Every structure is written in C-alpha cells, then in structure tokens.
Amino acid sequence: MPPSFPSKPWESGILTASRLPPRTAMPYNTLLTLAQPLLRRKLARRAQAEPLYGHLVPERFGHYGFPPIPPTARDARPLWIHAVSLGETRTAGLLIEALHARIPDLPLLLTHGTATGRAEGQRLLRAGDLQCWYPWDTRAAVGRFLAHFQPRLGLLMETEVWPNMVEQCRRQSLPLWLVNARLNARSHARILRARWLMRPAYRHLAAVLAQTEADAQRLRDIGAPVTAITGNIKFDARPDAAQRQLGHAWRERHMQAGGQPIAILASSREGEEAAWLAALPPALLQQVQWLIVPRHPQRFDAVEHLLQQHGLRVARRSAWGEQGPVESSVAGPGKNPAAQPTIWLGDSMGEMALYYSLAHAALLGGSFAPLGGQNLIEACACACPVVMGPHTFNFAQAADDALAHQAALRAGDIAQAITQAAALLHHRSQLHAMQNHALAFAQSHRGALDRLADAVATAWQAQGR
C-alpha cells in the first residue's frame, strides 16, 4: 500500500500521509511521476547497505529483462502474489505451499518491495516461476507490468493497496484480492484523511478476506468488499522442528552448565536496544542471560557495536560452534567471575524458531516504540511466552487474545517489561504454566490457511474456465 496509508510500503520514505497534497492540489499520478528520481536516489542509498536494492531497478518502473507472457498462452498466465516485505513473504510461503497441494502445476509470479522480502521469496520459487519488484504506482509502470505478465488472478498480502494498480486491474477484468487482510486503527484513520484517493482503491478490489471481525469492520468502513473472515494464517505456521530441537538442546546444556535463564529481545527495531540498555538494572545482567535478535540484518553490526560500547561482550550466532553459545557465556574453571556478562546476538535470518526455543521468555520487538509490534504468534508456537510493550496495533487481535489466554504479559514500557520478564524467569511454576498457555494459544487458532487456500483455489479454477 502507498507509504502514506497503512504502514509498510517499500520502506522508501518518499511519501508519507502528511506529505500527500489535498485533492485540489497536485494529482496523485503527477506526484508519483515526479517522485521517481527520489525513489531512484533512495534505492541507491539503500543498496549501499543492502545490495539487492540496486538489483534490477528498471523492474520498479515496469521494464523487464525476460520475455513477456503471450496473452494467448492462458495456461502460462500466473497466479500473482504480492508480498511486500519479509513478514508478508513468509506468510505467502504458507499459502503457496497449501496451493501447491491443491494445484500442483500452479504457475506463480511473486512481487516484493523490500530486499529482505525478495531474498525470502527466492526460496519459494519452483522451476518456471517468476519473481520481480512490484512496480512504482504510476499508470505507465503498472500498465507495463500487467501487459508483461498477464496474471490470471492477483493476491495482495495483508495491507498492500495502491490506487493505480487496483484501477487498472479493474479495467482489465483481472480479479485482485486482498487476503489475510488487516487494517489497524491508525491506518484506518490515515485512509479516511485521504478518502478521495483510497476509498475507490479499496472499493474496486474484487474481494477482501479479513483476519478478524475488527479488521473487517474497518475495511468495510472504507468501502472494501469484505467477502469472508478467514482468520490469520500466521497461526498455521509450524516452527521448524530441527531448529526447535537444537534450541532446546542448547538451552538444556546452558542450564546444566550453571547458566542463567534466557530471555530474548526478539525482532528488535532501531532504538529499542539502546532503550533496553538504559533501562536494564546491572543485577539483571548477571541473573538473566540475554539474547538479542535485531529485526533487520543490516543492523547486526551496529547492535554489536552498541553493546560493546557499554562494556559488554558479544557472542554472535555466526560464531557459535556445534555446542551453541554456552562456552562463551557461562563462568567456569579458568574464567573470571567478575568479567562482564556476554550478550548473545542472533545475527542470522530464518532461525527465529531456534532462538525462541533457546529462550525461556521473550520481549516483543517493535512494541516498545510506536511501531506496532512484531509477530508474537511464532514465539507462542515455540512455547515461548511474550512480554509486550504498549504498541501492538499491527497485531492487535492476536495480542489481546494472547493476553486472554495467559500466553503473554503487557508492560507499559521496556523497563517494566524487563522487570516482568525477569520475575517470570525466576518463578518456575508460573513460567511453565505460561509456556503451556502460549503453545495452546497458538494451536487453538489454526485453520485459517485451509479456508484461504480453498477460496483461492476455487477462484483460480473458475478463472481458468
């Protein structure tokens, strides 16, 4: 969706809600066209830290280095799934796997807006599948995209609604669905401020399948054709069994070696690590083994440097041996008991099941600053109870349900969260109960994936007639 409305565009920072002109000022299409040089400049800057942002930039404007799909080749016309970033792409992976079980020869086109999303999407491709950047939302770029790929059905994951794309799909009678759809209160308010632009976009979607009744109500309020409430398919993700086994083994070895209970600051966002350091009582560096896993890989080095500036030793996941992080962090013969504690740093991608299984409890990243919180479902599916900050509007229903199921705790700020987590870690009966509640909570909400996959498969087959 445009960077101006619900939250996650291409993380470009070029458009924001406050910068959109009033209806009587510069038209949307003119603004987007004039912004293209700014987008190119932003991508070039991002590519310095994440080279994939500099990869195939012409695709962002509808120019491709491989042959188009002939309009007459109906069997080759793909199912198009747009998953803007890492989280949406992982969610799309669940849906793709379920669809392949129903439609084994399904041709697929994946589009993304972020480097992490595209990298994750590459893992989902099979022979003959296609992948490219989502086009910048000008009429020309969108027109070239649709003419080149000729999709039979389009699925937008969760929040991505752009006016020109929706309008051109409508004109070409291409069904465009918003699936696993969510709309938090903040994004709803932003859309209402730009209703002249966004109401038509939501109204002209072919179908909207919402996560919750609250999401459905907000989507209906802006004109979206909500056809079903299917639930959140993130609950159907099954944590990697090998990662879980390894995490449990490392945790057991750590505890047997005399280590302290383990807490993870999971999927932390910029500024949260500094806030954690500022609020952390020195005693809890000795009484809790801390693991930090930054949300974005380009920040791994910066977080390590921050920790070292505070006199802390750092053991990065990339340097752990087969025995895990135990040897570098537990006092033993020949080690100085007065030495500064070691912070474990999770500097890998795709291993959250390992980290959650290694930890006894989690502090939820993105929830201690007004960022909306990260996904708490994966932690609960690994039987890792969560302490959340005040900002969980991206997963409002899941957060409320986790609290109701006693799978999570709510803290007013990160200092209170640290205190709550430390108390939980040293209260064995409560910790064990919450671990069981977390797992039961995650398992009780499954089933959305089958509902969504059945709906998409039925629509796909209908489009093929």
> So which residues are the catalytic ones?
88
Q: How many other CB atoms sit within 10 Å of the CB of residue 19?
A: 11
Distance separating alpha carbons of residues 7 and 268, to the nearest angstrom: 17
Distance separating alpha carbons of residues 328 and 331, to the nearest angstrom: 8
Burial of 351-384, coded b for 16+ CB within 10 Å and e otherwise, reads: bbbbbbbbbbbbbbbbbbbebbbbbbbbbbbbbb
Distance separating alpha carbons of residues 181 and 310, to the nearest angstrom: 42
Distance separating alpha carbons of residues 267 and 288, to the nearest angstrom: 19
Distance separating alpha carbons of residues 91 and 148, to the nearest angstrom: 26
Sequence-distant (6+) residues with CB within 8 A of 266 are: 293, 352, 355, 356, 359, 362, 363, 364, 365, 374, 379
* Alpha carbon separation from 361 to 125, 280, 352, 433 (Å, rounded): 34, 16, 13, 12
Distance separating alpha carbons of residues 419 and 212, to the nearest angstrom: 32
Max CA distance (Å), the chain: 74
Long-range contacts of 307-313 (CB under 8 A, 24+ apart): 307/273, 307/277, 307/343, 307/345, 310/277, 311/340, 312/285, 312/340, 312/341, 312/342, 312/343, 313/339, 313/340, 313/341, 313/342, 313/343
Q: Residue 252 CA to chain centroid, in angstroms?
A: 30
